Structure 1
Amino acid sequence: MIEDEAGQSSSEYILLFGAIIVVAILALVIYRSYFQRSALNSAQDTSEVRNNTADEAGGGGTPPVNNSSEPPVPPSVP
C-alpha cells in the first residue's frame, strides 16, 4: 500500500510560505503604531553617531590618515 506522494512537497512549501506571510502581516498590523510613532531620520542619526564617537575619541570627526609604509597598529584593549 505505497501511495504516490510526488506532489506533496510542493503543496507543503506553498502552505509554509503562506503561513510565514500571514505571520509577517499580523506582526506588521500589531506593531503598526510603533512604526508610525518613530520618526526615522537617518541623516540626523548618522551625524549624532559621528559626533558622539568624535567626542569620545577626543578628536575631530575624521580619522587620521596613515601615509606610512608600516602596517597599522591595532588599538590596545584596556
Structure 2
Amino acid sequence: MSRQITIWTLPGCGKCEAVKKHFAGEAVEERSLQAARKGDDPDAIDVMAQLAFQDDQVPVIRIDGRFVSPMELAQTR
C-alpha cells in the first residue's frame, strides 16, 4: 500500500532537498510555498496557517494526512 506524501518546499532549501532524497522512489507531490504566498495554492495557505509558518520551518511534510517534522522523519531512518 502506497503512502500519500505531500512536501511543501521553498527554492534553495537544503532540508527540502534532503527530504526529497529521503522519499526517492516513492510518489511524492511537491508543492511550492511561494505559490501560497501569491495566493495560488489555497491548501498551502491553510497549511501555513495551521503550522504558524516561518521560513525556518520548511519543508512541511504531510504523510497520509499527518504532519511530520523533518526531525521526526530523520529519527525513523
Larger fraction in helix: 1
Report TM bin, short chain: under 0.3
Larger fraction in strand: 2
Larger RCO of the pair (alpha carbons < 8 Å, separation 6+): 2
Please tell me whether Structure 1 or Structure 2 has the larger radius of gyration of its CA atoms. Answer: 1
| TM-score, normalising length: structure 2 | 0.22
| TM-score, normalising length: structure 1 | 0.22
